[in-house]
Structure 1
Amino acid sequence: MKSIFRRSIALGALAGAMAMTPTIAFAQDADEDEAAAAEGEGDFVIVVTAQGRSQSLADVPIAVSAVSGELLEKSGVSDIRDMNQVAPSLLVSSTGNEANGSARIRGIGTVGDNPGLESSVAVFVDGVYRSRSGNALSELGPIDRVEILRGPQGTLGGRNASAGLISIYTAPPEFIFGGYGNFTYGNYDAIKIEAGVTGPLGDTVAARVDGVYFERDGFYNDVTNGTRINDRDRYLVRAQVLFEPNDDLSFRVVGDYSNKDEACCAATFVQPDFAPGARVSPGLNSFVEPVPGAPALTSTSNPIIPILLALGQDPRALTQSTFDRDIYPTAGRSYQGNTEDWGISGELNYQLGAVTLTSITGYRQYSNNQGSDTDYTGVDILYRAPGDNAGAREFKTFTQELRLSGTAFNDKLDWLVGGYFANEKLQTRDNLRFGSQYGTFAACRIALAINPALANPAATNCFGANIAALTAANGGAGAFGAATPLIVAGINNLSNVRDRGGTGDVYNQTSNNFALFTHNIIHITDRLDLTLGLRYTNETKDFDATFGNDNTFCPANRALLSPLLGGPLAGLAGGLIALSCQGNSTSELDGRSVSDQRKEDEFTGTAVLSYKPTDDLLVYASYSRGYKAGGFNLDRSALANPLFLNVNALNPANLQFDEETVKAYEIGLKYSTRPFSFSAAAFRQEFSNFQLNTFNGSVFLVQNVNGCSSSLGDTDRDASATTGACAPDDVGPGVVAQGIELETSLSPIRDLTMTMGITYADTSYKNDLVGRDDGTPLDPALRLLPGDNLSNAPEIVATSSLSWTPEIGSSGLSGLFFINARMTGDYNTGSDLLYGKEQDGYVVVNGRIGLVGPDGKWAVELWANNLFDEDYTQVAFNTSFVAPQQTYSAFLAEPRTYGITTRVRF
Structure 2
Amino acid sequence: MKSSFRQSIAYGALASALLCIPSMAAAQQTPAAQGDLAEGADIEEPEEPESPSAGDPYTIVVTAQGRAQSLADVPIAVSAISGELLEQAGTTDIRELNQIAPSLLISSTGNEANGSARIRGIGTVGDNAGLESSVAVFIDGVYRSRSGNALSELGPIDRVEILRGPQGTLGGRNSSAGLINIYTAPPEFETSAYGAFTYGNYDTIRAEAGFNVPFGDTLAARVDGVYFKRDGFYNDVINDVDVNNRDRYLVRAQALFEPNADVSFRLVADYSKKDEACCAATFVQPGFAPLATVSPGLDPYARPEPGSPALTSTSNPIVNALLGLGQDPRALTQDTFNRDIYLTPGRTYDGETEDYGVSGELNWSFGNASLTSITGYREYSNFQGSDTDYTTVDLLYRAPNEFGGARYFETFTQELRLQGTAFDDRLDWLVGGYYANESLRVQDNLRFGEQYGNFVNCRLAIAINPALLNPSADNCFGQNILALQGANNGAGAFGPATPLIIAGINNLAQVRDVGGTGDIYNQESDNFALFTHNIVHLTDKLDLTLGLRYTNETKDFDATFGNDNTICPTNRALLSPLLQVPSLAGLAGGIISLSCQGNSTSELDGVTLADTRDEDEFTGTAVLSYQPNPDTLLYASYSRGYKAGGFNLDRSALSNPVFFNVNTLDPSSLQFAEETVNAFEVGVKYSTRPFSVSVAAFRQEFSNFQLNTFNGSVFLVQNINSCGTDLGGADMDDSATTGACDPDDVQPGVVAQGVELETTVSPVRDLSFTFGATYADTSYEDNLIGDDSGAPLDPALRLLPGDNLSNAPEITVTSSVSWTPELTSSGIRGLFFLNGRMVSDYNTGSDLLYGKEQDAYVTVNGRVGITGPDRAWALELWANNLFDVDYTQVAFNTPFVAPQQTYSAYLAEPRTYGITVRAGF
TM-score class normalised by the smaller sequence: over 0.9
Q: Could you tell me which of 511, 520, 540 is aligned with 1:506?
A: 520
Cα RMSD, aligned residues only:
1.5
Q: Within the alignment, does 1:664 sit opposite 2:664 as a pair?
A: no
Contact 1:42 / 1:673 at 8 angstroms: preserved in 2?
Answer: no
Q: Within the alignment, does 1:692 sit opposite 2:689 as a pair?
A: no
Distance 2:99 2:307 in 1: 36
Shift of the alpha carbon at 1:885? 1.1
Q: Could you tell me which of 761, 764, 782 is aligned with 1:767?
A: 782
Pair 1:775–1:432, CA change in 2 (3 A): same
Please show how residues 414-453 of structure 1 align to structure 2 within 5 Å: 414-453=428-467
Question: Secondary structure of the equivalent of 1:34?
Answer: coil
Please show how residues 241-640 of structure 1 align to structure 2 within 5 Å: 241-472=255-486, 476-567=490-581, 568-640=583-655
Q: Within the alignment, does 1:704 sit opposite 2:724 as a pair?
A: no
Shift of the alpha carbon at 1:725? 0.5
Unaligned runs of 5+ in 1: none
What residue in structure 2 maps to residue 821 of structure 1? 836
Distance 1:581 1:24 in 2: 53
AA paired with 1:153?
Q
Q: Could you tell me which of 895, 907, 910 is aligned with 1:892?
A: 907
Contact 1:801 / 1:820 at 8 angstroms: preserved in 2?
Answer: yes
Q: Within the alignment, does 1:650 sit opposite 2:651 as a pair?
A: no
AA paired with 2:226?
V
What residue in structure 2 maps to residue 22 of structure 1? 34
Unaligned runs of 5+ in 2: 21-29
Shift of the alpha carbon at 1:47? 3.0
Query: Which deviates further from its counterpart, 6-15 or 100-109?
Result: 6-15
Contact 1:154 / 1:606 at 8 angstroms: preserved in 2?
Answer: no
Shift of the alpha carbon at 1:33? 5.5
Please show how residues 796-815 of structure 1 align to structure 2 within 5 Å: 796-815=811-830
Query: Which deviates further from its counterpart, 210-219 or 46-55?
Result: 46-55
Question: Secondary structure of the equivalent of 2:387?
Answer: coil
Contact 1:250 / 1:348 at 8 angstroms: preserved in 2?
Answer: yes
Distance 1:113 1:692 in 2: 11
Q: Could you tell me which of 137, 153, 160 is aligned with 1:146?
A: 160
- Residues 445-483 of structure 1 show CA distances to partners (whole Å, capped at 9, x for unaligned) of 111111111111111111111122211259721110100
Contact 2:452 / 2:512 at 8 angstroms: preserved in 1?
Answer: yes
Pair 1:27–1:700, CA change in 2 (3 A): closer
Question: Secondary structure of the equivalent of 1:625?
Answer: strand
Contact 1:50 / 1:147 at 8 angstroms: preserved in 2?
Answer: no
Distance 1:903 1:345 in 2: 29
Shift of the alpha carbon at 1:492? 0.7
What residue in structure 1 maps to residue 27 of structure 2? none
Query: Which deviates further from its counterpart, 467-476 or 444-453?
Result: 467-476
Q: Within the alignment, does 1:783 sit opposite 2:783 as a pair?
A: no
Distance 2:862 2:135 in 1: 28
AA paired with 2:434?
Y
Question: Secondary structure of the equivalent of 1:794?
Answer: coil
Pair 1:256–1:858, CA change in 2 (3 A): same
Q: Could you tell me which of 88, 96, 109 is aligned with 1:74?
A: 88
Shift of the alpha carbon at 1:52? 2.3
Distance 1:111 1:690 in 2: 12
Pair 1:61–1:24, CA change in 2 (3 A): closer
Contact 2:34 / 2:760 at 8 angstroms: preserved in 1?
Answer: yes
Shift of the alpha carbon at 1:56? 2.5
- Residues 149-205 of structure 1 show CA distances to partners (whole Å, capped at 9, x for unaligned) of 000013124000000000000000000000110000000000000001012022210
Distance 1:406 1:72 in 2: 34
Shift of the alpha carbon at 1:273? 1.5
AA paired with 1:313?
Q
Contact 1:108 / 1:793 at 8 angstroms: preserved in 2?
Answer: yes
Contact 1:555 / 1:587 at 8 angstroms: preserved in 2?
Answer: yes
AA paired with 1:11?
A
Please show how residues 729-768 of structure 1 align to structure 2 within 5 Å: 729-768=744-783
Q: Within the alignment, does 1:186 sit opposite 2:200 as a pair?
A: yes
What residue in structure 2 maps to residue 129 of structure 1? 143
What is the TM-score with the length of structure 2 in the denominator? 0.97
Contact 1:10 / 1:845 at 8 angstroms: preserved in 2?
Answer: no
Contact 1:191 / 1:215 at 8 angstroms: preserved in 2?
Answer: yes
Pair 1:188–1:785, CA change in 2 (3 A): same
Aligned length: 906
- Residues 365-409 of structure 1 show CA distances to partners (whole Å, capped at 9, x for unaligned) of 000000000000110000001011100000000000000011111
Shift of the alpha carbon at 1:520? 0.5
Contact 1:75 / 1:846 at 8 angstroms: preserved in 2?
Answer: yes
What residue in structure 1 maps to residue 10 of structure 2? 8
Contact 2:417 / 2:430 at 8 angstroms: preserved in 1?
Answer: yes
Query: Which deviates further from its counterpart, 81-90 or 199-208?
Result: 199-208
Q: Could you tell me which of 835, 848, 853 is aligned with 1:838?
A: 853
Q: Within the alignment, does 1:174 sit opposite 2:176 as a pair?
A: no
Contact 1:85 / 1:799 at 8 angstroms: preserved in 2?
Answer: yes
Shift of the alpha carbon at 1:354? 1.2
Shift of the alpha carbon at 1:282? 2.3
Shift of the alpha carbon at 1:12? 2.8
Contact 1:154 / 1:625 at 8 angstroms: preserved in 2?
Answer: no
Query: Which deviates further from its counterpart, 53-62 or 731-740?
Result: 53-62
Shift of the alpha carbon at 1:37? 7.2
Distance 1:9 1:603 in 2: 47
Pair 1:28–1:288, CA change in 2 (3 A): closer
Pair 1:9–1:547, CA change in 2 (3 A): closer
Distance 2:223 2:35 in 1: 27
Pair 1:481–1:864, CA change in 2 (3 A): same
Shift of the alpha carbon at 1:9? 4.5
Question: Secondary structure of the equivalent of 1:820?
Answer: strand
Q: Could you tell me which of 32, 45, 55 is aligned with 2:69?
A: 55
Question: Secondary structure of the equivalent of 1:298?
Answer: coil
AA paired with 1:486?
L
